[in-house]
């Protein structure tokens, strides 16, 4: 257990028992506990030969109003023999969740959770990567296509962005249901794109 992570478990108003049960199960699998994105994240040392220790994220514990969950970073690669992995949204390519609403569910599934974690560790050690969709496979809203056609400098700046930054913008623009909202989002993001920045930069 990492004392720096304790605050997450003690501050929680909801899911305290469930978090404690998940923490015990994950730590029993030999992973290192760290705090990332404000959540307990469990990592694996991937290269001990180097002076600087490299780690890979395997699972994290997080909670929402309706449920708490164990999130597998490369869950898309797991066999999921029990059919319990959930894809949060259609745009999530790699991660998968197992959701819980009571501690009894976790205790009942403990052997399965450990088996899934061990499989995730094996996948990470083997260096297997999730085949991600190419940026060209993401839908580009018509409103953004028009703006790019009319503004060559913007088209050039967008093309120069990293694939991840391009995907971020495309998902953000596409998620708006109304054309008016899409146009407003595009307008707001143009200065950032021209500066070579991503949505979250």
Classify domain 3-126 at the CATH class level.
alpha beta
Backbone region of residue 31 per phi and psi (left: phi > 0; alpha: psi in -120 to 50; beta: other values): beta
Task: Decide: helix, strand or coil at residue 117.
Answer: helix
Q: Which long-range contacts (CB under 8 A, 24 or more apart) does 189-194 make?
A: 190/147, 190/151, 190/154, 193/154, 193/157, 193/158, 193/161, 193/169, 194/153, 194/154, 194/157
In tens digits, what is the pLDDT along the chain, a chain of 201 residues? 788 899 898 888 899 999 999 999 999 999 999 999 899 999 998 665 555 557 899 999 999 999 999 999 999 999 999 999 999 876 677 899 999 999 999 999 999 999 999 999 999 999 998 877 777 777 789 999 999 999 999 999 999 998 888 988 998 898 888 999 999 999 999 999 999 999 877
What is the C-alpha separation between 159 and 147, in angstroms, rounded?
Answer: 14
pTM for the full model?
0.70
Measured CA distances, 2 to 33, 43, 86, 89 (Å):
6, 12, 28, 31
Q: What is the domain partition of the chain in residue ranges?
A: 3-126, 135-194
What is the C-alpha separation between 181 and 46, in angstroms, rounded?
Answer: 44
DSSP string covering 22-77: HHHHHHTTTPEEEEETTEEEEEEEEESSSSSPEEEEEEEEEE-SS-EEEEETTGGG
CB 22 within 8 A of CB 70: yes
């Amino acid at each position: 257990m990492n004392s720096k992570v304790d605050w997450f478990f003690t501050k929680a108003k909801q899911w305290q028992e469930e978090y404690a049960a998940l923490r015990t199960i994950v730590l029993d699998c030999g992973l290192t506990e760290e705090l990332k994105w404000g959540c307990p994240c469990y990592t694996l040392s991937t290269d001990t030969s180097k002076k600087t220790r490299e780690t890979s994220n395997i699972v994290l514990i997080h909670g929402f109003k309706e449920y708490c969950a164990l999130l597998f970073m490369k869950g898309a690669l797991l066999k999921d023999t029990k059919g319990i992995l959930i894809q949060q949204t259609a745009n999530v390519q790699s991660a998968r969740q197992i959701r819980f609403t009571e501690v009894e569910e976790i205790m009942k599934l403990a052997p399965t959770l450990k088996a899934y974690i061990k499989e995730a560790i094996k996948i990470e050690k083997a260096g297997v990567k999730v085949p991600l969709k190419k940026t060209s496979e993401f839908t580009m809203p018509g409103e953004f296509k028009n703006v790019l056609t009319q503004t060559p400098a913007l088209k050039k700046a967008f093309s120069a962005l990293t694939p991840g930054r391009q995907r971020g913008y495309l998902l953000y623009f596409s998620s708006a249901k109304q054309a008016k909202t899409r146009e407003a989002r595009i307008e707001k993001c143009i200065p950032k794109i021209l500066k070579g920045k991503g949505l979250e930069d």
